[in-house]
Structure 1
Amino acid sequence: MSQKLSEKVALVTGGTSGIGLATAKRFVTEGAYVFITGRRQNELDAAVKEIGKNVTGVQSDASNLADLDRLFATIEQEKGRLDVIFANAGGGGIAPLGSITEEHFDKTFNTNVKGLLFTVQKALPLLSEGASIVLNASTTSIKGTPAFSVYSATKAAVRSFARNWTLDLKERKIRVNSISPGVVPTPGYNLMGLSEEQVQGFVASQVNTIPLGRVGTPDEIAKAVVFLASDDSSFVNGIELFVDGGMAQI
């Protein structure tokens, strides 16, 4: 069986659950050695155990620049280079206009924008020529969602990063693309402050807006990330790939 990422060294931030964990598993299956990050050591250890091989877990908060320095020092020491980055770490919460606090704004932007930016920037010395960077955006980059304006703004920024970094890195032939998942239930939904009942109600309410008539799975997003990370997408650069069952396309 051909392995699309054979001998590649990859980083998946926020790799302990959901889309990040599913992608790390896919990367390993496709022949890559993967570094994953997570803020909580117990969850990180569990994810490493679940992936099983060709993986190193590094405790790291994407918004903490000292953590990022330690992460890339570890990668440099163990592998000496990076061929693929999936900048996936992120999160958000519900806050309608009129109720947005400075704390909510800072926390969301620090992880989703500041953290993503400095993850990529601090990785640059390790990135090989022709490397692939995949940024995790969202359909909220182009669609309005009630009480979700701060999160949505961060994802629009992520989309903009892909366009601009494609030009900044063109001399090194490094491709930068963004992937925008639609409704894909993961543990991150609960971290937004929603109860399990609220999550299920939200998911049910969205199904009718999705032409395929169902929500997505983390593994479906992971397979699309593999495409953008691999040579299968060698002439794909600067795009936003929607993996949303058609939801944002109609």
Structure 2
Amino acid sequence: MNRLENKVAVVLGGAKGIGLAISQRFANEAATTWFTSRRDEELAAASSKMSGTFRPLRADVSQQTELTRIMQTISASTDQIDVLVINAGMADYATIDEINPSHFDQIFDINVRAPVFALQAALPLLKPGASVVLIGSIADVIGTPGYGVYGASKAALRSFARTWTRELSTRGIRVNVVAPGPVDTDMMAAASDEMRAEIIKAIPLGRMGKPEEIANVALFLASDESRYIAGAEICIDGGLTQV
């Protein structure tokens, strides 16, 4: 059974890593899937790996005018969005001694400000029954040296999910958070063998997650199977923050 048949999905930051896995899964589940990236080459590479009905869009989701353009483009072909996944984000290392305004502003602009205005731009197209999935991180509940601003940005996103659930429940729109732990993406592949070993040692299941496993949970939250789940955060971390 195709769990997203006749649905329209939008994945902001959906051309690589976790975002690409989500885009692929949604398209495979019969959703018309729009996905974004700032880079044409990433969109082309992602499109070559996808099947089903998909629509790549080049856009910088950190810019409010670009978010407006994305929604105008989508509304030209459909009058509704059934699933909105906000995945675009960034992390950068800086200890409290090293944090400067540029570091802080860049992370909060992409990880916090952009999701706020992305959801705002999408609201006219989100109909009763729509699902909003925010890609957070277990960094919102753990302290990782050098990633304080990143963790705070993900904690802010988690807080917004609670508020937006209250505000949008009367419109029949659900908001939930997927919080991955360490995932074996290109970023993790660049880590040293020693660092990877230390990370894996801390995970009860003894391995990193796979992008496809994050996509599985995003699919569940996007589908009607989760229609009584709202305001929740689902951690996918092999037990790292749970035991």
TM over 0.5: yes
The counterpart of 2:216, out of the listed 215, 223, 240, is 223
- The Cα shift of 1:3 comes to 1.0
Q: What residue is the counterpart of 1:203 in the other structure?
A: 196
Unaligned runs of 5+ residues in structure 1 are 191-195
Partner secondary structure for residue 83 of structure 1: strand
Cα offsets for 1:53-87 (capped at 9, x unmatched): 31111111111011111100111012221000110
Contact 2:27 2:51 in 1 (8 A): no
Equivalent residue letter for 2:174: R
Partner secondary structure for residue 150 of structure 1: helix
Structure 1 residues 16-27: aligned runs within 5 Å: 16-27=15-26
Unaligned runs of 5+ residues in structure 2 are none
Normalised TM-score (structure 1)? 0.94
Partner secondary structure for residue 228 of structure 2: coil
Cα offsets for 1:194-231 (capped at 9, x unmatched): xx243x43322111111101110000000010001101
Partner secondary structure for residue 62 of structure 2: coil
Q: Distance in 2 between matches of 1:222 and 1:73?
A: 26
Q: Distance in 1 between matches of 2:39 and 2:72?
A: 19
**1:197/1:136 CA distance change after superposition, 3 Å:** closer
The counterpart of 2:229, out of the listed 229, 232, 236, is 236
Normalised TM-score (structure 2)? 0.97
Runs of 4+ in 1 over 4 A off after TM superposition: none
Cα offsets for 1:81-119 (capped at 9, x unmatched): 100011000011111111012111111111000011111
Structure 1 residues 1-250: aligned runs within 5 Å: 2-189=1-188, 196-198=190-192, 200-250=193-243
Identity %: 43
Partner secondary structure for residue 56 of structure 1: strand
Pick which of 203-212 and 14-23 moved more: 203-212
Q: How many residues align?
A: 243
Q: Note the aligned Cα RMSD (angstroms).
A: 1.2
